[in-house]
Amino acid sequence: MPIIHVNSEAKLKKFNKMDKKGKMVVAFVATWCGHCQNLKPIWKKMEKKFKNKGTIVMIYSDFRERANISSNVNGYPTIKTYINGKGKELNINWEEGNNLEKAISKFFSGKSFKKRTRQRTRKKGRKRKRRRTRKKY
């Protein structure tokens, strides 16, 4: 599976010709962005780990508008996951520990990476008994 850094015209053409089917993780970054500079070493490590799992792409801000992919980017860095061309933003704090690595691992393995909420144990229609205590004056 390819690893592409869209930071030149030649790489932009290669990315636009590429088949967008399957799973793909895309990071939209800017060269002037401090958070993006912090993301790069984490992204490089992640590329080595997941290079055989799916497509990993880093698109620089100068080429975002001309890339053939749906990108609604409001800020940098923005990390999105794509399945057969349909994108979804990855809402995690990638700066803490290895959250990004865990989320991408779950994405490529097919597991959900959403936070699970505690399910209700009470059956529908059953009322909960309330304990009443009387105050003695």
Q: Identify whether 58 is part of a domain.
A: yes
Percent of the residues in the chain that have a pLDDT greater than 70, as a whole number: 80
Total domains in the fold of the chain = 1
Average pLDDT over residues 126-134: 63
Q: Identify whether 48 is part of a domain.
A: yes
Q: How far is CA 115 from the centre of its chain?
A: 13
**27 near 57, Cβ under 8 Å?**
yes
Q: What is the pLDDT of residue 116?
A: 46
Q: Identify whether 116 is part of a domain.
A: no
Asked whether residue 130 carries a pLDDT value surpassing 70, the answer given is no
Q: What is the pLDDT of residue 124?
A: 56
Q: Identify whether 47 is part of a domain.
A: yes
Q: What are the pLDDT digits (tens) for 71-126?
A: 788 888 988 888 887 888 888 888 877 788 888 888 888 875 554 444 455 555 56
SS3 per-residue string spanning 73-134: CCCCCEEEEEECCEEEECCCCCCCCCHHHHHHHHHHHCCCCCCCCCCCCCCCCCCCCCCCCC
Domain ranges, residue 7: 3-109
| Predicted confidence band of residue 34 (pLDDT cuts 50, 70, 90) | very high
Q: Identify whether 123 is part of a domain.
A: no
Q: Identify whether 80 is part of a domain.
A: yes
On whether the pTM is more than 0.85, the answer is: no
CA 45/CA 104 separation, integer angstroms: 12
Q: Identify whether 32 is part of a domain.
A: yes
Which domain CATH number covers 65? 3.40.30.10
CA 36/CA 29 separation, integer angstroms: 6
Average pLDDT over residues 39-57: 86
Q: Checking phi first, is residue 65 left (phi over 0); if not, alpha (psi -120 to 50) or beta?
A: alpha
Q: Please, what sign has the CA dihedral across residues 56, 49, 8, 31? A: positive
Select the more confidently predicted residue: 99 or 1: 99
Q: Identify whether 130 is part of a domain.
A: no
